[in-house]
Structure 1
């Protein structure tokens, strides 16, 4: 499988490509399936529908990996946190703010996610299946804020004023996420990705402390999962200076990071980092931007093409397909 070969540094003829949030509302076929369930969380829990959605990018785009259709907030619900999705407003979370009241989970608590992995694996064998979870910090801020936010003030105050509980919370999240991913790998996931989408909101002074927790977290994943682990975070290249010691197979970075420079001095696989906004450009410009990035990659393996963040609902399916096709046509000399 091309993506796994690239991760391992094997010789490849072209760079592999998949896209974050590659199955989503920009697809008419996704919207048709979405109408079959009353709300988004129910949609995620409907194994048959989730398998069909997961497969759409392979069928419509020809991507080199399938990431299962789910949501990073799914493992919070069995912990005792109320999670609901409101149309047009995004996720809303409620809990009593008592860390001691939160539960440890096992992979059986989210068995429907494992069944989605099994369903995708049963249908196709041509590309690897990616399992995933949210990063501990990202799930922490979502939970404390109760929703996505712009400054995450409540989460920062919790971290500063309730330091012991903050550490307990992140430790519990880490334990639960290990179990959550173990279930996905046991079900057949070929690799996993950890999404720390809100890491850019952690104060730099607190990042070193968080990196220590992450080091232990990823070490456990390495030992217990025995599959490649990709860490996606949002934040600057200065953050990567602190995170570079993490025992991960690959870093997935956004467009604020000098990925090309990092590839010159770090032998690990990198993934990214085209700015998703480029997809709003005219096709000629879009195609040119993709090719320009590919030509600058300073190696012939250990790279995976992706965006610096996920696809948006108002993007055009034809342009997303153009990105994938352009990457697949770019041959390595």
Structure 2
């Protein structure tokens, strides 16, 4: 029997709601901080399958979430495509050479860099109960491309957007390469034991509508179709953060199994505008979770009530903040677990 989370992603609208939180395996947990202090930098943890599996399982042991999300990073794909990857303290990730002034053909693929990730999936699946769903993930092509082109994160992704306007053929080649590698990466995660996968498009909100269609919807649709053909039983969650009103077209046109709602999406609007019966995920504000107080229950119940008429995975609108108190998470879980659809 599938667990509550997998059942919901497959379209069941049960009275109770499954819950997991984006970035639930991470810095807000003291057990994570202790292990990171012992093991060293972030990439060291990702490449240490024993440590990464332990980190993936930590929030399940503490909170009993319905799903475990693989501990890794979206930049493992460009790392395997041949870019060098560093995580600099206080500055974030760096990829080199950036493709804004280097050709894609200059990269030499290193597919063996995926091997420890697959091993983490296998070890995690072995440590999970049968009623808990293991979620794999990758970055969506547009978001991964923004890092590959600029070599780092940015506020408005100017360098990547400019390249896409200036030389759409060259940028299409980058997107196509990311799609191909991401498909194999997710297929490897599924073969190792992932039961559902999520595509994080964290920077989709920076695009104008026509570019959103070309660089977000179209490549996501290719990935979703290819995954469905290979693994028809595996749900694909699409999460285009910042999509706003474009989310409705994303839900209709990409072929994903479920869509993630960020905290700016009105759940009443989402229930009205998204395809009937389509599972949704989200959309509690992670800043409210960090701030705490009685509004946690008020907002959580409002989201649950608004989405009661469709399958809904309760989650945050983005990743949990590193300074979020444990007791706030426990408070939120108490609200979700006591709620039932009428």
* TM superposition score normalised by structure 1: 0.94
**1:128 partnered with 2:133:** yes
Aligned equivalent of 1:220: 226
Residue 325 of structure 2, aligned match among 316, 323, 328: 316
**1:93 partnered with 2:63:** no
Distance in 1 (CA, whole Å) between partners of 2:206 and 2:307 is 29
Partner of 2:143: helix, strand, or coil? helix
**1:332 partnered with 2:341:** yes
CA drift of 1:282 comes to 3.6
**1:116 partnered with 2:120:** yes
**1:137 partnered with 2:145:** no
Residue 312 of structure 2, aligned match among 303, 315, 318: 303
CA drift of 1:105 comes to 6.4
Q: Which runs of 5+ in 2 are unaligned?
A: none
Aligned equivalent of 2:263: 255
CA drift of 1:23 comes to 1.0
Q: Tell me, yes or no, if the aligned pair for 2:204 and 2:243 is still in contact at 8 Å.
A: no
CA drift of 1:143 comes to 1.4
**1:146 partnered with 2:167:** no
Q: Tell me, yes or no, if the aligned pair for 2:267 and 2:303 is still in contact at 8 Å.
A: no
Q: Which has the higher contact order (CA 8 A, sep 6+)?
A: 1
Aligned equivalent of 2:211: 206
Aligned equivalent of 1:183: 188
Q: Tell me, yes or no, if the aligned pair for 1:26 and 1:314 is still in contact at 8 Å.
A: yes
Q: Tell me, yes or no, if the aligned pair for 2:281 and 2:315 is still in contact at 8 Å.
A: yes
Q: Tell me, yes or no, if the aligned pair for 1:260 and 1:298 is still in contact at 8 Å.
A: no
Residue 164 of structure 2, aligned match among 159, 168, 181: 159
Partner of 2:314: helix, strand, or coil? strand
Q: Tell me, yes or no, if the aligned pair for 1:16 and 1:304 is still in contact at 8 Å.
A: yes
* TM superposition score normalised by structure 2: 0.92
CA drift of 1:92 comes to 1.0
Residue 51 of structure 2, aligned match among 43, 49, 52: 49
RMSD: 1.6
Aligned equivalent of 1:279: 289
Distance in 1 (CA, whole Å) between partners of 2:7 and 2:142 is 30
Q: Tell me, yes or no, if the aligned pair for 2:137 and 2:197 is still in contact at 8 Å.
A: yes
The C-alpha deviation readout for 1:151-188, integer Å capped at 9, x for no partner, is: 21111121112221100000000000000000000001
Partner of 2:181: helix, strand, or coil? helix
CA drift of 1:103 comes to 4.6
Give the direction of change, closer, same or farther, for the CA distance of 1:305–1:148 in structure 2 (3 Å limit): same
